[in-house]
Chain A
Amino acid sequence: MKPAPFRYADPGSLGEALDVLAAEGDGAKVLAGGQSLIPLLSMRLAAPTTLVDLNRVPGLDAVEVTGDGVRVGALVRHAELLGNPAARTVQPLLARATAYVAHPAIRNRGTTVGSIAHADPSGEMTAVLALTGGSVTVATPAGRSTIGWRELFVGPLETSVHGAAVVVDAFFPALPARSGTAFVEVSRRRGDYAVCGAGVVVTLDADGLVETVRAAYLSVGPVPEVHDLTEAVSGQPAASADWAAAADLARTLVDPDGDLHASADYRRLLVGVLTERALASAAAEAAA
């Protein structure tokens, strides 16, 4: 349980980091919080030739909150985002989901952007990026580009970011008006990977009737997906909408896999249970 030998660089600027990544080629891997990467190294599931540690790169540790949304730098730890009241106000899903990320000692070190770049379908923040319609900024030697969540997530633990490239921030758009959110998980033990998790956003119209309902799930499918559940409850009053019908619809839309931790059928059952529970809570919040 020790990492295979590698070479290590901790450049002092983003430009130098990109230079090292370009020079070292495909075997190089970016290290930020390391709370997913270092276990992979120790279990020898990954054996990069070179680790490029971003921790000394200045300018990557900011949480910028505007009316449009929350921009999270690549070195912002989960614990910092969880404790940021402005971010919580503009996009409540951030704090709600971050509270489910592992344990405090992991959240003190792990980064939000790192968990997105890691692209684990069990990850909380990948689901939140999708559910909020977010994007990431990728820096390469040729310049910066924005990649939307649909283009970013290619498969389990795989993104469209390759080669000499660093994900420098993630942007989570603000919660729209007259909206409420909820985030719920079922796990074997507190802080474990979710057997199944659900994040939802409910938006009401000016009369307090359901306008849109969207949901994203954890540990269900290879990449994050956003499901539109509006048709099951469209135009119904927030307080008495048929959330069970929306949950039934959700069950038909997902295609979970079974594994050691849960069968596919059990996961589909949980999708329904968690969806109904989350939607009622989010709708009550939207109406408040």
Chain B
Amino acid sequence: MTPIDTERSITVTVNGVPRGARVPVRRLLSDALRHDLGLTGTHVGCEHGVCGACTVLVDGTPVRSCLVLAVQVDGAAVTTVEGLARADDDGGQVLHPVQEAFRECHALQCGFCTPGFLVTIAAGLEARNLSTEITEEEVDELVGGNLCRCTGYANIKKAVRHAADTMRRNGAELPLGNSAPLHEQGPR
């Protein structure tokens, strides 16, 4: 007989670290990350899939964490904005090229929408064939699902092009490289 539950225990690999939680079945993934796992980098804006601030990677694919139930990612790998930077040899962290580009291009003001943009753009650029220059159409498609009320997007789009250029120039020397999807990177 199929169990019908109001609460479940789940195990999720978050940014390379296995994490467990006991959650009501109605708990959204966005709330599970913030409240149950303490990862407040994932921001919750509209809570109905419009703004994109809560975007995370589930098994390497960008999804709205407010449109997924926490119980649905039991056994999956989740990457949040906290998982984009990598540890360096001196115990510090090296930002992802998209994070660097946001700083370089002044692509954030209040910062509320930024985690969703960073995760979406990082995954989009990682999945892309970097041998060609990114087109305006691609940039629009990449940022079109995320709302920003401060910047007017000009600097965000500049940052996308900047990050794409960096990743194209650096190729294999990138922190995350093109070889392994983000979620397969080790603990950091």
A-side interface residues toward B, CB under 8 Å? 1-12, 16-17, 19-20, 24, 34-35, 38-39, 41-43, 50-51, 53, 55, 102-106, 108-109, 189-191
Contact = CB atoms under 8 A, between A and B. Distances in A.
Contacts of A50: 4
B55 to A, nearest CB: 6
Contacts of B108: none
A32 to B, nearest CB: 11
B6 A5 contact: yes
Contact of A104 (B2, B26, B62): B62
9 contacts: A3-B28, A9-B5, A10-B2, A16-B2, A20-B4, A34-B69, A51-B69, A103-B52, A105-B62
Contact of B49 (A9, A35, A51): A35
B4 A24 contact: yes
A105 B55 contact: yes
SS of B interface (majority): mixed
B30 to A, nearest CB: 10
Interface in B124-176: 124, 140-142, 144-145
A218 to B, nearest CB: 18
Residue of A5, A12, A24, A34 ringed by the most chain B CB atoms within 10 A: A34
Interface in B25-76: 25-26, 28, 31, 47-49, 52, 55, 61-64, 66-69, 71-72
Interface size for chain B: under 10, 10 to 19, 20 to 34, or 35 or more residues? 20 to 34
Contact of A9 (B3, B55, B68, B142): B3
Given A3-B26, A8-B69, A190-B141, 20 more contacts: A1-B47, A2-B31, A5-B24, A7-B25, A9-B5, A16-B2, A20-B4, A24-B4, A34-B69, A34-B72, A38-B28, A38-B49, A43-B48, A53-B69, A104-B120, A105-B62, A105-B63, A108-B61, A108-B62, A109-B64
Contact of B64 (A11, A12, A17, A105): A105
A42 B28 contact: yes
B5 A20 contact: no
A112 B71 CA distance: 22
Contacts of A12: 2
B48 A1 contact: yes
B8 interface: yes
Contacts of A9: 2-5
A12 to B, nearest CB: 8
Residue of B3, B4, B6, B55 ringed by the most chain A CB atoms within 10 A: B4
Contacts of B52: 103, 105
A100 B66 CA distance: 21
B3 A53 contact: no
Nearest to B145: A103
A34 B8 contact: no
